[in-house]
Amino acid sequence: MKRLLTIPLSGLYAFGVGLRHLLYDEHILPSTTVSVPTICVGNIAVGGTGKTPHVEYLIRLLSPHYKVAVLSRGYKRKTKGFVMADQSATAQSIGDEAMQLYLKYPEVCVAVSENRVKGIRQIQSLRPDVEVVILDDAFQHRALKCGFNIVLTRYDRLYPNDHMLPWGTLRDFKQRILKANAVVVTHCPEEMQPIEKRVVENHLHLPPYIRLYFSKFRYGTVYRTGRPLVVAGIANPQYLMDFVNAHYQGAGFITYADHHAFTPEDLREIESRAKDYDFVLTTEKDFVRLQQTELYNRLAERIEAIAVNMEMDEERAEFDKQVLNYVRENTLLCRSHNS
């Protein structure tokens, strides 16, 4: 019954999405090109595809060669407008994911803005040395004509098998994938065979101009021993739970919705349950939110954040080459226009 009710709602949602695209396609709503190379990491489904680890991969790839900036909307932050991360930044002022990036990559300019065009122009004004901007979750932000679009889709929830919200998890039309320069299938099995990749490739049936890649997540090293209490407010905690259960016995889990703002009741529960475990293990973006609480001051010596990285197999060299070629060619083009 619930499913039957969501089908007409999905139709209404699709109508709204289609009307918005029509307004941009007919140039009734403006779409702007900026004078700096832009790389968007996005998806056509809501949450859980792994955008932040892929953004971090791009930072590590590009920052040895270019001055890099990262721009996101700062999801669930308490501020509005453009904010550039500095020493006064918190998860509340710029969002947990942006704060995570700022702490891990201090050499990179990190900023947030609901309006990506204005955000990029602010970055260019404040940091004219920036040579490339990575956009976290801006594939639907059509006010900006992004130069290079990387669209993510999960291996266990490929977009052709999904439906529009609220029936499914798609927030955009499946055919919008045709605007991508590269599609990355994320959360792939650890040992993925060539035949499995071929099955996915045939199922997605992408045109030749869109390169297809496969990535997997690898959790970082945990330096503590004993029984952990895992605290996670992420979109898909099952991957983390499976990892912890494979490496620890008797682990406990407290899970929340993605980007959850810890309440006093939550913190009391965490502190109470932590007494029965050897340490508290959490994700990096949960960690930056916990740091702003009194609980962190009391449990700081017992809390550890686990990193998650994106990895590719044999496609990595080709992916790196495609991204670097785009940035190099468009950086040279921008320099020639400015000279």
- Please state the domain count of the chain: 2
Are 121 and 262 contained in the same domain?
no
Number of helices (H), then strands (E), in the chain: 11, 13
Mapping DSSP to helix (H, G, I), strand (E, B) and coil, where does residue 257 land?
A: coil
Are 317 and 302 contained in the same domain?
no
Residue 338 in this model has a pLDDT that exceeds 70: no
Are 75 and 186 contained in the same domain?
yes
pLDDT of res. 84: 98
DSSP E strands: which ranges in 44-130?
A: 68-72, 83-84, 109-112
Q: What is the pTM of this model?
A: 0.94
Strand partners, 70: 110, 134
Are 119 and 75 contained in the same domain?
yes
List, for residues 5-16, the tens digit of each pLDDT value. 788 899 999 999
Consecutive H or E run containing 134: strand 132-136
CA–CA separation, 106 vs 100, rounded Å?
10
Average pLDDT, the chain: 94
pLDDT of res. 48: 83
**What's the full length of the chain, in residues?**
339
List, for residues 198-236, the tens digit of each pLDDT value. 999 999 999 999 999 999 999 999 999 999 999 999 988
Does any domain span residue 320? Answer: yes
Does any domain span residue 21? Answer: yes
CATH code (residue 281): 3.40.50
Full residue range of the structural domain in which residue 284 is found: 228-306
Are 36 and 84 contained in the same domain?
yes
Question: What does 15-59 look like in DSSP terms, one character per residue?
Answer: HHHHHHHHHHHTTSS--B--SS-EEEEEESBSS-S-HHHHHHHHH
Are 237 and 145 contained in the same domain?
no
Are 212 and 264 contained in the same domain?
no
The token pair at 11 is 């139709």
Q: What is the mean pLDDT of residues 122-136?
A: 97
Q: What is the DSSP letter of 129?
A: T
